[in-house]
Chains A and B, each alone.
Chain A
Amino acid sequence: MALQCRCGQPVDAFGVPSCYTKMAPIVKLIFTTQVNELINNPSADLELSPANTKFPDIYRLVTPRLDDVSSERPEAITEEIGATKYYVRDAARTITATVGQLPTEWAQRIAELRCQANLGVFLVDANGTIWGRKVDTNTGVAGAALPVVPSSVDIQFAFPTYSSVQKHIISFQMPFVLADYEIIPLWNEPNVLNYSTPQPVGFRVFQQGSNWVVFLFSKYHAPNGTIVVPITGVTPLAAIEVRDSSGASVVASGNTDLGNGRYQLNNPLTTGTQYILDCTAVTTPPRSQFDWPSVRAPFRA
């Protein structure tokens, strides 16, 4: 929070420790919707795994390496009354990142962040240090994600020219109440620099003859004109579950691999009814390749 002056405000000593972590250029961003979660044990709390209970989404929201990340904060908003300047509030910090040579469809992943009610981000620098927010608690100090204003998330695709490659330019704002001194290193984990995020899974559920079929596909095209890339060989088949709208009971599950990413269900569905497709227990292809843990989504048959 920006410092609000109060009566008798003390000034802390200016001494600084001899050794401290310096920020290297930011090369990756890790987004999360768990912006209010506190970090007390960084090695466990920031683990990039679906099993991370505190930040269960960070394993899949790590950007590829970014080519150029910059951040600006305009001068504070002030008001002049007579000859005296009064501080009103800080200006909001904007982060802008450029990343080259990614598929055009990747922009949709970033645009989806705009629809979240809560959004936070961790910054990863070239040394593998993860930067976040310092939070004062009743019992001391904890870490957290840096808050992001979801409505400010924007991504633009820049066409290649004769002298430049195709690239995406991402930008977003942080709330103006976030003070610069709240940005602190939370953890150093160089392996984050080599981390590979699983790809999202697309699905359709439709009736084919008398059978109901689940079609699973990659959300990215492939070279050579393959627009839809089916996800083949999904196992176990029974892990392709269709649940009722409450998610409580399994209505149908996969029982036959029809090939080409299509999986036949063992029970019929009712047209027009709301269901939930749940593929969170799929093990093949592995979770490191496709983001099965997040395939639990409602659909209308």
Chain B
Amino acid sequence: MVTELVKRIRGLRIRHDTEHISGNIYATCPHWWAWWIPNTLPVWNFYDDEGNIHSCSITYGTEPTIITSSGNIIGGIWFGAPDVYLVHGQALDNKTKNAERPTLFVLYEHRVDAEQLTYPTGTTSALLIIPQSAKWSAELSSSMHRGMMSAIQDIMKRAFVDIIDATWVPTYNSNLAGTGQGLPGEANSLVMTLRWRSYS
């Protein structure tokens, strides 16, 4: 059951229009990759409409996002959901320490309801771990949370997954030491209860 959930999220491909500004600079609507502030700026690989891959740097927490691309983006950009890992609850602490970008961890421990004449329904918890480069002010946190929540809502909607509830939890993970884009020990977590149905 839960593998179907993960497969659906991993299979998503989302397209955003881009607006050419000048040279290889474009504007687009932000998504999950823009609603956080990394410590070291990552390179994002976006596909364009022709299937060309571009290495891009972007602005964070802005609307629209400004993209500086390695080449000429034709049409729009295509991207997927954040990396998704299916993990056992007891391994969560260890697994999340390497989250260098916003990463979704779905707990394997899930509940299934199966009744006659209904689709089997699964419920589990998932954590979106966002490595954080510094303490955010309450105002900045609020604006980032709003954008990220909207992005995750879009992703889950496309994957036919209901978010039953979601809570922002500032977390300190003593193991969060291997991060390239965040700082040791700092993370922002969106803890969600997800519900999905198996249609097969």
Contact = CB atoms under 8 A, between A and B. Distances in A.
Partners in one complex: yes
Nearest to B14: A194
Given A22-B199, A25-B199, A286 B50 contact: yes
A288 B199 contact: no
A27 B8 CA distance: 14
B158 A233 contact: no
Name the interface size band of chain B.
Answer: 10 to 19
A188 to B, nearest CB: 11
Contacts of B20: 232-233
B114 to A, nearest CB: 15
Secondary structure dominating the interface of B:
loop
A130 to B, nearest CB: 14
Nearest to B15: A196
B88 interface: no
Interface in A45-85: 65, 67
A288 B75 contact: yes
B63 to A, nearest CB: 9
The number of chain A residues touching the other chain, given as a range, is 20 to 34
B154 to A, nearest CB: 9
A190 B157 contact: no
Given A65-B158, A233-B20, A286-B75, A125 B199 contact: yes
A24 interface: yes
B56 interface: no
Nearest to B158: A65
Contacts of B49: 286, 288-289
Interface of A: 22, 24-25, 27, 65, 67, 125-127, 190, 193-194, 196, 232-233, 284-286, 288-289
- A-B pairs, 6 with minimum CB distance: A24-B199, A288-B49, A194-B13, A196-B15, A289-B75, A286-B75
